[in-house]
Amino acid sequence: MSALILVNGEVRDDCIAAGMQALRKGAPALDVAEIVARAVESDVKDHSVGFSGLPNIMGEVELDASIMDGATLATGAVSALKGYLHPISVARQVMERLPHVLLTDAGAARFAAEIGAEAGDLLDDESKAIYLKRLQAVGKEWAALREIRDWSEIANLESLISSGKVPLIDLVTRAMRYHEGGDTMNVIVRDASGHIVSAVTTSGVAWKYPGRVGDSPNIGAGNYADDRYGAAVATGMGELTIRHATCVRAVIAMGYDRRIGEAGHETLRDMSRIAEARGAWIRMLLLDRNGTVGGYCTHNGSTLKVQRIDESAPQVIICEHVI
Ligand code: ASP
C-alpha cells in the first residue's frame, strides 16, 4: 500500500508538494502532516487557518489545532491560541513534551512561548477589512457600533459591550449568520511504514464568542486516527461534530468492517438526529486501513485532494453528497 497525503480540496498544491517532498525522503507521517499544516497556516489567502484567519467577534484571531498519531493514539492540541503563527507545531509539542493532550488560551500561549514557538501578528489588511465589513453590517442593528469606522477604533468595542450599549451574546448570534471562512485545514498522511497521522488546524468559525473552542482540537470530534482502522477529519460547524463525536464514530465504524463509503455516509446521516445539523455544512475525509480514501459532505460540490507517493500531482475528487 502506498504512502499518501489526503487534504481538503482548498489546500494549495504547493502545500501538498512540501509534504510530498518529505514523504519521498522517508519522513515519518508526523513530520509530513506538520509540514503540510504549517504551509497552509502560512497561506495569506486562506482566511480560515493561521495567519490571516478571520477573528473572533472582538477582532482577535484565536487558533485551534490538533495532531493524532495513529500508531500510539498519542495526541496533542491547542485551542484559542493567540499570537502564534503555527498552532500545529505547538500542538505537536504538547503531545511530545507534556503529560497532557490539550492546552487552551493563556496556558497554550505560555507553553508556546516556553518552547520558543514563532510569535506574530495574525491579522493582515484583508482579514481586518472583512472583519470591519461584518461589524458594520451587524452595526445596522445597534447604532453604537457605527462608531467603529476603522481598525484604529476597534478598542472601543470593549467599552460599548461593558457599558451595555451592545450585548455581546446578541452580537455574536447575529454576526454568525454570515458564514465566512469555513475551510479549516484537514490532513491525513500515511507514511512508507503504514503509520497514519491526522492533523487539523483552523482559526475556527468567524465571529465566534471569545474563548469558543471548536471541533478541530477536540480529538474524536474533528480528528481521529488509529493505524488499525484508519483516520477521519472534519470541517464545518464544530458544535455539531463535538455533539456527535463524528470522527471517532467513523473510524470505529471502519474498525467494525464497514466499507469506507458506508462509514462515511452512515456517520454523517446519523448526525441528522441533531436538529441543528439538518441543513448544516459538514464534510468528513476518511482513509481506511487498506489505503482507500473517501470524502463525504452534506452539500454538493465539496472536494478533496489526494496524492500517492508515486503520483506526480494531487488528484481532485468530488466528495460524495450525503443525504
Ligand atoms: N470546524 C471548524 C470549527 O468549528 C470550522 C470549519 O471547519 O470551518 O471551528
Angle between helices 87-97 and 105-114 (to 10 degrees): 80
pTM beyond 0.85: yes
Least confident of 27-41, 45-59, 219-233, 245-259: 45-59
- 255 φ, ψ to 5°? -65, -30
What does DSSP say about strands 74-81 and 102-104: parallel, antiparallel, or unpaired?
Answer: parallel
When pLDDT is averaged across residues 276-290 and rounded to a whole number, the result is 92
When pLDDT is averaged across residues 54-76 and rounded to a whole number, the result is 97
**What's the pLDDT band for 25 if we cut at 50, 70, 90?**
very high
Residue 261 C-alpha cell reads as: 463509503
Interval between CA 192 and ligand 1 midpoint (Å): 30
Question: Which residue has a Cα nearest atom 9 of ligand 1?
Answer: 204
Does 204 contact ligand 1 (Cβ within 6 A)?
A: yes
When pLDDT is averaged across residues 66-74 and rounded to a whole number, the result is 98
State percent of the chain over pLDDT 70. Answer: 98
- pLDDT at position 278 is 84
Please give the mean pLDDT across all residues of the chain: 94
- pLDDT at position 102 is 98
Q: Are 70 and 227 in contact (CB under 8 A)?
A: yes
**What's the pLDDT band for 145 if we cut at 50, 70, 90?**
confident
What residues act catalytically?
184
- pLDDT at position 181 is 57
Burial class, 116, CB count within 10 angstroms (exposed 0-12 / middle 13-18 / buried 19+): exposed
Interval between CA 28 and ligand 1 midpoint (Å): 27
- Does position 179 have pLDDT exceeding 70, yes or no? no
Best residue among 63, 212, 237 to mutate for probing ligand 1's pocket (most ligand atoms within 8 Å of CB) is: 237
**What is d(CA 5, CA 20) in angstroms, rounded to the nearest whole number?**
7
Distances (CA, A) of 180 to 87, 204, 213, 300: 21, 10, 17, 18
